[in-house]
Structure 1
Amino acid sequence: MRGRSVSPVFVGREEELAALSESFDEARKGTVTAVLLGGEAGVGKTRLVQRFAEHCTAGGAHVLFGGCVELSTEGLAYAPFTAALRQLVREHGPAAIAGLLPDGAERDLARLLPEFGEPSGDGETDTGRARLFEQFLTLLERLADSRPTILVIEDIHWADRSSRDLIAFLSRNLHAPQVLIVMTYRSDDLHRQHPLRPVLAELGRVHGVHRLDLPRLSRDEVAQQMTAILGKTPEYAKVEKVYERSEGIPLFVEAMLDSGDECTFPESMQDLILSSVERLPEETQRVLRVAAAGGIRVGHALLAAVSGLSDVELETALRPAIAGNVLQIADNRAYVFRHSLIREAVHDELLPGEHQRLHARFAEEISKDRELVPPGRAAVELAHHWYGARDDRWALISAWEAARKSYKAFAYTEALPLLERVLMLWDRVPDAAELIGTDHTGVLERASEAANAGGDVDKGVKFVKAALSELDEAQEPARVAQLIARRAAFKNSKGQIGVIDDLRHALRLVPDDSLDWAEVVMPLSRHLMLRGEIDEAGELIAEGLRWVREHGERCLEGDLLLNLALGHSLNGRLETTIAINEQALEIGRSEGSGRLTTRAMGNTIDVLIDMGRADEALRMAEDGWRIAKQYGRLRGSGLFILNNWAEVLDALGRWDEAIEVVDMALSHGPVLRTRYSLLRVRADIALARGELQLVEAILAEIGVFKERPQEFVQDIISNARLRIGWYLTRGEPGAALGEAERVLSYPKQSSKAMLGWRLLSLLRTVCDAAEDVELERTAAVRGHAAEVAAELSVIGPVVEAYRLSYSGDFDAAAAAWERLRRPHNQAKALLRAATAAARCGDREGAATRLKAALPLARALRATPLVEEIEVLSRRVGGLQPAQEPSELLTPRELEVLRLVTQGRTNRDIAAELFISAKTVSVHVSNILAKLGVTTRGEAAAAAHRLSLLS
């Protein structure tokens, strides 16, 4: 029911409505995933979205609605997604919705809606939340298989952290056609520290996410709105007054006209909004104040109970508010304020004592009958109202219960502030421990778990420190050990040192024949392996395996096996590594452990790269990524697998594809260590292409220039290799030689192909470059490198190829790299062989090798290598003539170039050729590089000059 103050005509917004429709058209093709609609409070976002939804529904689309409420910030997790699920269940029934998901997946959705049965009992809490995200993504994609689907989420400025994370996840990963997410937010509410600001900034960089700002109405549009409301054309002076005072905010225009034909203007906008309320009967105003304490939406039965009115009395009291369009009737016998600003204005009018009493009444009635609120909301509603009632005892109890419910729903970030509230209230409630069944330290431990699962490392560290300060390790050693191990995990995720010292301390606290001991041995042995302490780690693993096998701890056995395999990998024993990884993989599959399965697959991909089995590595990477998403391990093992995938593509010279994989992985917000690994792959490609500015930025972020302390062999060697490459590319062989001296002084070198032998091959290049100016130092480095090489094993074709490069047999190395299909390494080996031939006077042999190397380097756009080849070619008189541009451009690149010359944008080209805009961007970059130009205009000019498109 609408009052006369709302325009019956949809005024203005044609441009914005067209933009939404265009985005929906692109979403149906799979090129747009989301629209962020921002605007001030009262500017008409809801009306615009409703009109858009009406148009889409009339066209056959399925529109789902979910809204965020202020209560979300107090732990009401996933509110908009729960609402959308509830709509689906109401329309189709839970069985039909469950049928759209993989077998058993509805048990994850049961954490949001009880209609889906009993939630899964997944003990791997860090995977459950990610799996829930995957199931919602799958659900949207399956819904879109039958008809276009739109998910509308309003007021995301109130979204809880878990909802914000799910919004970001869906926006990045929703690539299926026929799905569009439309989200609204108050742009004027976003202060500098607002948690939505970084989410908006992140989404603004995601391809397929559009931003749309809803402006205020113009003077003419205000006049149209007034005419539609009044039913006649208003006087010019009245339009001027309303427009000047409302500043084009539609809600304020309505409120002014609703204040009477005299069009009086209160002193404040809150008074203006309240004017329509103040003209209502006193009993109606009283009930509205009660409703405002309950939130923007409140059920009839709950409102009747709190207000003390019968059904008839309540309906009589609310009828004027509904007729005046202050309240609207929602589904399931609920009332909703027409606009959140109206509810806020009414709520702000509550006196302090009245505010507390009303919240207490809501809490009391919900405690008596939890069915007065929608399923799943009682706990957080009680926490909200008892806290608002200033009842410390019940506020603490209800916050603890709500935190447990949030934790069960994988809403760790919503559980955390509730646990913080418990800690804040603790000293005010004398028998707090008896009331909730745990001591103060137990709350701190739970808070540290929630912080760890939610990725809030800094808070997690604070809670762990606080908990440790309350415990005596002599009295509760196992408890202290668990906290110390968690602190070590926090340190590791932040890239800090001291992890092993913490874990050794934890191990000393627990009996060596207990599950606690085995659980500490697992991370400790892994870190020891990574630091190169392979013998010590092996002894711990052997004892740990004996214990876990006796007690049937299969998943822990699998983890220890993977740690054992890691040591064999670092020692270069690749076949043994594969065999042990397969044992762990089988355990993971038989136990249904997504964490163990994906970890085993990621480690196996790494070994396949070292063995030169690139095709197998690519297939497993693709399978592993799919399985990681299936198990909800996308941001954990999934991103580790993506890193390995990028490494395979990098080795094969498929650099543009590798960059896409790296960018995709980085967009998921990996933990710091995984992020650094991904950036190293990107830096390797940038170095090879001479993109020094990008290389410098990456190395600065990783901390390569700051000599950040490192404990792990892989980090130490990889960072040293990047520093050496940086110095060589900048023409500073002396600095590169100094870095070679430093890395050789490290006592633990690895036989792993992509670590130790790759480094030794690079050191040969450094010595050859620096020998003329640093003869003695170079000789010392050569001698030290030879000692290291003598200690390393030589197993597998990749190690052999690097060994040939290190030993100076460059022709054999080039042949080996060709067999392995690694064109960059092959081209470098050919250049080194040509250099050696030229020094021996074999100009023809040098020219032959350079002619083979040049097209390889050019195809990779490896600019520094191309320049080196061309310089040596000129010296030996065998310069390879540059290829004609028409020969360099592929048929697809010629198609893209044709559209570029027509002035088409990347998005236009993508639509024309049925490819993604990102792929178009890659093609355009390739075209510019191959034509030797820097702008699209120069490319068009070159195309005409060279008659490429004739």
Structure 2
Amino acid sequence: MLDHMLGRSVSPVFVGREEELATLSEAFEEARNGTVTAVLLGGEAGVGKTRLVQRFAEQAAGQSDALVLYGGCVELSTEGLAYAPFTAALRQLVREQGPAKVAALLPEGAERDLARLLPEFGEPSGDGETETGRARLFEQFLTLLERLADTRPTILLIEDIHWADRSSRDLIAFLSRNLRSPQVLILMTYRSDDLHRQHPVRPVLAELSRVNGVLRVDLSRLSRDEVAQQMAGILGTVPEYAKVQKVYDRSEGIPLFVEALLDSGDECAFPASMQDLILGTVERLPEETQRVLRIAAAGGTRVGHALLAAVSGLSDVELEGALRPAIAGNVLQIADNRAYVFRHSLIREAVHEELLPGEHQRLHSRYAEEISRDRRLVPPGRAAVELAHHWYGARNDLWALISAWEAAQKSFHAFAYTEAVPLLERVLTLWDRVPDAAERIGADHAAVLERASEAAHAGGELDRGVKFVKAALAELDETREPDRVAKLIVRWASFKSYKGKMGIVDDLRHALRLVPEPNLARAEIATSMAQHLMLSGEIEEGAALVEEGLSLARELGDRYIEGELLLNLALGHSIAGDTEATLATNLRALELGRQEGSGRLITRAIGNNIDTLNDLGRWEEALALAEEGWLLAKKYGRIRVTGLFILNNMAEILEAIGRWDDAIETIERALNLGPVLRNRKHLLRVRADVALGRGELGLVEAILSETGVLKERPEDFLQDITNSMRLHIGWHLLKGEPDAALAVAERTLARHAQSPKAMLGWRLLALLTTVCDAAEPAAPASARAVRAQ
């Protein structure tokens, strides 16, 4: 109700937490057997503790007819309202059952002890504030829980015990130690980030953790996929990959922050209404601690001790003294190698925003100077990126440009393509501010655009990549620099292909004409063109280009290009149905990829071999290879291109062997990563296969409408044509329209040759047999013609 009044965007879908929910359910079952008495559920503010315990309580009440009593602690200065959670639970019980029925569960006259909590039980006993009176109150509450559990399972849910007053803490400890009757579970939540070292609840938690029958559960932040699911639940549609990434980066997986960012209408803006939650702890720290935190915030989410000491000018002892309250208050945490980490990046950002303009510029300059002086002050491999960040923050255009270019090259070597793109965009932004920019970095403006398009291509950033390619082509003249122009045309053709455009081969023929000489550029273009020809079913022409390219690549000693061409040759074998040759050729390319350390070759070869093993019926090997390939795609920064291709092939196998739930989970995981249009269609086709198998007509129709199958939208690639035809036929059969299914088969078979590849051709043949059998009584001639063909 309160969430609704505040207008918060809460996901109607319960996201993630399956493991934690199962843990609570298991604890409840053990409580019913008398082996578990209490669960302590900890987590940061906003991480979803309340949502989890509410879902658990709903399930317990629905499945086990459990009585759930709710109590919450209230924040009132340093000591909360005495017995607040127990008073709330007792009030609920009286409201539901009446005071007389509750009193009947206790020994005669014992209700007077409960009168200290609720006036409905009459006059309190006279010794209420004494130790004796307190002990009797504790015993009566214990008795009440045990008597309630005699008739039905009972859960006492106490939220926010980090605000519990001393009396409540003592009663919590008493019940947790002494409750031994079956069918009772006490479930308590607390904010782990509020428990500084002197917090009064810390010793209680430590004590209870040693009590038999008390479990402690930590609720972690959501993963990126879970944030995507939460956003989809709130928005009612699958969010764009870029938006998911922004929200995940900003929220760091805390569900409350995800909701707040979506509420703001801007995934980059954090609403002012959340500032108290973020900055409340910081503002209670000593002024000197806050000053040093502002310096640390300029250094980033993670700052090494030596670097912070150098920038702040403090000695080790002075720095440790200033930071100790921040660590005790859980604003900062100590990481590996004597580094300090802000508990959440939003805390760092909020503190950073308090810097005055001059202070901001001066601090970033100090960081850049110290890191330039000694790059060992930051973790290995991070100096270039850190310098780019700090010189830009210091408004030093020259060094910001130089360091961003250097950092981008380092990112390429580390396969961090998504990190390289914004660095190269910064170089482009600063270009006109540095008169001799080309001389400073040893590359012209078009070269920066070419490099940016390469990074965008590897990272699956299509729209940005197209922008870079167009800009570079506008600066180059194909008569003076045909090789560079030809390579850009190839990349543009690849972007167009990913976006589902037609006519790619014509672009590639133009690129090939620009480089008639037998050089490396021609070999590269021949590689791309051969791939498209093979996929289009033009095996003979594609094979000729592969042979030309292999000859050039081997003559020039370019093993990467040789590997790419071998993969295209294997693709031709696959389309032609020569599965053993496909496997052997892919393995040769994979070995070259490993020798060259090429992430693209390795992941592409693995993706192709997953498909080949599926054709051979070696499903277990294929699934194991898919898991390995997915990890390698992450390692090489190729999740959104070859990584999603690998997931698609995994889903195809799972669908083919009947593991449909696993196939759907794999498809949804891939769709949440923002696949390019071509890969999205591949994934949706597999999802449609599952829906056909389950008879989900509406879902099949929706998918086939989105992918253009129902309109028989033209397609270039043979496997797409075959799969679309098969799904179109299956849709008509599911609707009970064998004549219409047969007509689709006739039209498609008349226009296109089909592949003898196992999972394409054989599966289609089986379906066509079914179609002919079903349609033959009404259209015998057509059925016979299709069967003969």
TM range (shorter): 0.5 to 0.7
| 1:883-937 deviations in Å (ceiling 9; x for gaps) | xxxxxxxxxxxxxxxxxxxxxxxxxxxxxxxxxxxxxxxxxxxxxxxxxxxxxxx
Secondary structure, aligned partner of 1:190: helix
Residues 1:589 and 2:596 are matched in the alignment: no
The equivalences for 1:532-543 within 5 A come to 532-543=537-548
Change (3 A) 1:56 1:698: farther
2:231 corresponding residue in structure 1: none
2:315 corresponding residue in structure 1: 311
2:459 corresponding residue in structure 1: 454
Tell me how far apart the structure 1 counterparts of residues 464 and 325 of structure 2 sit (CA, whole Å): 46
Residues 1:468 and 2:473 are matched in the alignment: yes
Contact preservation (8 Å) 2:500, 2:677: yes
2:685 corresponding residue in structure 1: 680
Tell me how far apart the structure 2 counterparts of residues 400 and 725 of structure 1 sit (CA, whole Å): 53
Count of residue pairs the alignment pairs up: 582
Residues 1:510 and 2:515 are matched in the alignment: yes
Change (3 A) 1:667 1:305: closer
Residues 1:430 and 2:440 are matched in the alignment: no
| 1:616-662 deviations in Å (ceiling 9; x for gaps) | x22441453354256447956676566556656655xx42x244245
Tell me how far apart the structure 2 counterparts of residues 372 and 310 of structure 1 sit (CA, whole Å): 16
Among candidates 568, 580, 595, match of residue 578 of structure 1: 580
The equivalences for 1:924-935 within 5 A come to none
| 1:755-794 deviations in Å (ceiling 9; x for gaps) | 4565466456545555666x5xx636754764xx3xxxxx
| 1:797-817 deviations in Å (ceiling 9; x for gaps) | xxxxxxxxxxxxxxxxxxxxx
1:444 corresponding residue in structure 2: 449
Tell me how far apart the structure 2 counterparts of residues 313 and 342 of structure 1 sit (CA, whole Å): 25
| TM-aligned CA deviation for residue 607 of structure 1 | 5.7
Contact preservation (8 Å) 1:500, 1:528: yes
Tell me how far apart the structure 2 counterparts of residues 702 and 154 of structure 1 sit (CA, whole Å): 31
| TM-aligned CA deviation for residue 376 of structure 1 | 4.1
1:39 corresponding residue in structure 2: 46
Contact preservation (8 Å) 2:610, 2:623: no
2:572 corresponding residue in structure 1: 567
1:624 corresponding residue in structure 2: 625
2:405 corresponding residue in structure 1: 400
Contact preservation (8 Å) 2:691, 2:697: yes
Change (3 A) 1:158 1:558: closer
Tell me how far apart the structure 2 counterparts of residues 295 and 643 of structure 1 sit (CA, whole Å): 37
Among candidates 387, 390, 395, match of residue 385 of structure 1: 390
Contact preservation (8 Å) 2:496, 2:504: yes
| TM-aligned CA deviation for residue 528 of structure 1 | 0.8
Change (3 A) 1:490 1:511: same
Secondary structure, aligned partner of 2:418: helix
Residues 1:779 and 2:786 are matched in the alignment: no
The equivalences for 1:828-839 within 5 A come to none
Letter in 2 for 1:663: E
Secondary structure, aligned partner of 2:751: coil
Letter in 2 for 1:425: L
The equivalences for 1:342-353 within 5 A come to 347-353=352-358
| TM-aligned CA deviation for residue 452 of structure 1 | 1.7
Contact preservation (8 Å) 1:396, 1:425: yes
Tell me how far apart the structure 2 counterparts of residues 247 and 463 of structure 1 sit (CA, whole Å): 38
| TM-aligned CA deviation for residue 517 of structure 1 | 1.7
Tell me how far apart the structure 2 counterparts of residues 542 and 316 of structure 1 sit (CA, whole Å): 67
Structure 1: runs of 5+ lacking an equivalent: 1-18, 61-147, 170-180, 198-244, 256-272, 790-950
| TM-aligned CA deviation for residue 710 of structure 1 | 0.6
Change (3 A) 1:48 1:468: farther
Secondary structure, aligned partner of 2:712: coil
Tell me how far apart the structure 1 counterparts of residues 19 and 661 of structure 2 sit (CA, whole Å): 33
1:744 corresponding residue in structure 2: 749
Tell me the TM-score normalised to structure 1 length: 0.51
| TM-aligned CA deviation for residue 321 of structure 1 | 7.7
Contact preservation (8 Å) 1:503, 1:524: yes
2:662 corresponding residue in structure 1: 660
Secondary structure, aligned partner of 2:478: coil
Contact preservation (8 Å) 1:683, 1:698: yes
| TM-aligned CA deviation for residue 446 of structure 1 | 1.6
2:143 corresponding residue in structure 1: none
Letter in 1 for 2:584: E
Letter in 2 for 1:578: E
Tell me how far apart the structure 1 counterparts of residues 257 and 727 of structure 2 sit (CA, whole Å): 45
Structure 2: runs of 5+ lacking an equivalent: 1-16, 28-40, 49-74, 76-159, 161-190, 211-215, 229-240
| 1:736-770 deviations in Å (ceiling 9; x for gaps) | 34423421331433344554565466456545555
Contact preservation (8 Å) 1:38, 1:187: no
| TM-aligned CA deviation for residue 701 of structure 1 | 3.3
Tell me how far apart the structure 2 counterparts of residues 642 and 345 of structure 1 sit (CA, whole Å): 39
Change (3 A) 1:684 1:373: closer
Tell me how far apart the structure 2 counterparts of residues 38 and 523 of structure 1 sit (CA, whole Å): 51
Letter in 1 for 2:569: L
Contact preservation (8 Å) 2:564, 2:589: no
Residues 1:412 and 2:378 are matched in the alignment: no
Change (3 A) 1:27 1:353: farther
| TM-aligned CA deviation for residue 430 of structure 1 | 1.0
Instruction: Tell me how large the CA RMSD over aligned residues is.
Output: 5.3
| TM-aligned CA deviation for residue 329 of structure 1 | 9.0
Letter in 1 for 2:689: D
Change (3 A) 1:153 1:552: same
Letter in 1 for 2:619: L
Contact preservation (8 Å) 1:359, 1:385: yes
Letter in 2 for 1:398: S
| TM-aligned CA deviation for residue 383 of structure 1 | 2.4
Among candidates 343, 366, 372, match of residue 361 of structure 1: 366
| TM-aligned CA deviation for residue 388 of structure 1 | 2.4
1:262 corresponding residue in structure 2: none
| 1:302-321 deviations in Å (ceiling 9; x for gaps) | 455545x5639966995998
Tell me how far apart the structure 2 counterparts of residues 251 and 521 of structure 1 sit (CA, whole Å): 58
Tell me how far apart the structure 1 counterparts of residues 689 and 324 of structure 2 sit (CA, whole Å): 70
Tell me how far apart the structure 2 counterparts of residues 565 and 365 of structure 1 sit (CA, whole Å): 53
Letter in 1 for 2:665: D
| 1:206-245 deviations in Å (ceiling 9; x for gaps) | xxxxxxxxxxxxxxxxxxxxxxxxxxxxxxxxxxxxxxx9
Change (3 A) 1:664 1:38: farther
Contact preservation (8 Å) 1:294, 1:362: yes
Contact preservation (8 Å) 1:416, 1:450: yes
Secondary structure, aligned partner of 1:535: helix
Residues 1:710 and 2:715 are matched in the alignment: yes
Tell me the TM-score normalised to structure 2 length: 0.60
Tell me how far apart the structure 2 counterparts of residues 663 and 320 of structure 1 sit (CA, whole Å): 46
Letter in 2 for 1:311: S
Change (3 A) 1:435 1:36: farther
| TM-aligned CA deviation for residue 249 of structure 1 | 5.7
| TM-aligned CA deviation for residue 155 of structure 1 | 12
Tell me how far apart the structure 2 counterparts of residues 415 and 389 of structure 1 sit (CA, whole Å): 20
Residues 1:190 and 2:194 are matched in the alignment: no
Tell me how far apart the structure 2 counterparts of residues 345 and 644 of structure 1 sit (CA, whole Å): 44
Change (3 A) 1:752 1:431: same
The equivalences for 1:322-361 within 5 A come to 347-361=352-366
Report sequence identity in percent. Answer: 53
Residues 1:486 and 2:491 are matched in the alignment: yes
